[in-house]
Amino acid sequence: MAAKIMRSLVRLTLVAAFLFFSIGFVQTGIPGLGLAPAQAQSAGSVPCNWSGNISDTQFWRAIRKGVTGTVSIPDRKAGQLVQSDGDELRAFRQGPMSQFGGWLLIGSLILLGLFYVGRGRIEVESGLSGKTIERFNSFERFVHWLTASSFVILALTGLNMLYGKYVIPTLIGKEAFASLTMFGKFAHDWIAWAFILGIIMMFFSWVRHNIPNMADIRWLMAGGGMFSKGVHPPARRFNAGQKIIFWVVIVGGASLSGSGLALLFPFEIEMFAGTFKIINVFGFNFPTELSSIQETQYALMWHGIMALVMIAIIIAHIYIGSVGMEGAFDAVGTGQVDINWAREHHNLWVQEMESMDEGPVSNRAPE
């Protein structure tokens, strides 16, 4: 009986002690830390006078600017508590890059619409003759469509990653958008290899035809005949406008490919530190000592900027090659273009072809 009474007294004592110390913690704070609830960080404020002889401002500034400590795990990057460049990158992508990129894309569509209303479709003024000349062979058309189709898929999946979260979830729901974006990201990563292969083959197939010459200057001075009917400046196989598109695709595509590879293989490919050293020779002051994380962040930023610029340019190219000009699509469709179309837009090239013994002109009706 006495033992039961003693056990009950011990239990009551333990419960009372627990309640006593619990109430004490709530009222006075946590022993050993010296932080009362009223002093804990709230609404962004920092606890005062807890960091010893180092001021709170200095302490938090060091953390915010990327002070690095030591860690016992192999990944030494984990020793940096805050990487402020990441927050700046996020603000740039969601702010200026998204805004100006959106304006650029919308502006290009508006300008093309106004051009179509004002100029109308550029037609073959002498009419279709029924005779055709081979513009591109089957291999050249394959190269074009490999590069073009892969670029379109990359553009759509990339735009979804940048802008999709603002629009698509309200149309198809968040779960469907998450699945769409996940598969789009996989497609973006894998189809990028087709685009890289396409620009390589495109370069070797057409670079000899895209070297600038004096005819290109005259073509540009005449506006390419785009703004006036009856004006057809001389041009070889590729006119100045097409040469600009070619070099935009080659140089811009190489830039996209390089930055894309840096994103596919983060912390392994470094391209911006060396690039900045070359640029700084011309008086710029870009940073040349970059961490692996900063290399990846620069790659992501540059990849997005170049993609938006190229998309806007390619939209104009698609317009001219489809609804904007009669007979232009046949070049990459069947490979055969009407001889009158060719003489109006590439008369110097037609003269070269007709002077050859290969007989490039056929009598079959255009498809």
Instruction: Output the average pLDDT for the chain.
Output: 82
Low-confidence winner among 52-56, 103-107, 132-136, 363-367 (lowest mean pLDDT)? 363-367
Answer whether residue 65 is part of any domain: no
**CA-CA distance, 216 to 237, in Å (whole number)?**
11
**CA-CA distance, 160 to 98, in Å (whole number)?**
12
CA distance to 192, 231, 236, 255, 342, per residue, from 212 (Å): 29, 21, 11, 21, 20
Residues in the chain: 367
Q: Number of folded domains in the chain?
A: 1
Residue 358 half-sphere exposure toward CB, CA atoms < 13 A: 8
Answer whether residue 27 is part of any domain: no
**CA-CA distance, 210 to 243, in Å (whole number)?**
5
Answer whether residue 285 is part of any domain: yes
Determine the residue type at 334: T
**CA-CA distance, 239 to 214, in Å (whole number)?**
11
Answer whether residue 64 is part of any domain: no
Residue 199: which CATH number? 1.20.950.20
Structural domain harbouring 99? 86-356
Answer whether residue 264 is part of any domain: yes
pTM: 0.76
Answer whether residue 63 is part of any domain: no
Q: Which residue has the higher pLDDT, 160 or 42?
A: 160
Residue 86: predicted pLDDT: 78
DSSP result, 233-270: ----SS-HHHHHHHHIIIIIHHHHHHHHHHHHSTTT--
Low-confidence winner among 32-36, 211-215, 255-259, 345-349 (lowest mean pLDDT)? 32-36
Average pLDDT of the segment spanning 340-352: 92
At 255-305, the pLDDT tens digits run 999 999 999 998 887 778 788 888 888 888 888 777 788 888 889 999 999
Answer whether residue 44 is part of any domain: no
**Residue 147, both tokens:** 């590069």
Q: Where would I find the H helices in the chain?
A: 2-28, 56-64, 84-92, 98-119, 138-159, 165-172, 174-206, 214-221, 240-247, 253-264, 272-280, 292-320, 330-333, 339-345, 347-354
Residue 126: predicted pLDDT: 86
Contacts of 209 (CB under 8 A, 6+ apart): 236, 237, 238
Give which of 163, 141, 142, 160 is closest to 152, Cα–Cα: 160
DSSP state of 365: P
Other CB atoms within a 10 A radius of the CB of residue 227 amount to 11
Residue 1: predicted pLDDT: 52
Residue 8: predicted pLDDT: 53
Answer whether residue 248 is part of any domain: yes
Other CB atoms within a 10 A radius of the CB of residue 326 amount to 15
**CA-CA distance, 39 to 46, in Å (whole number)?**
9
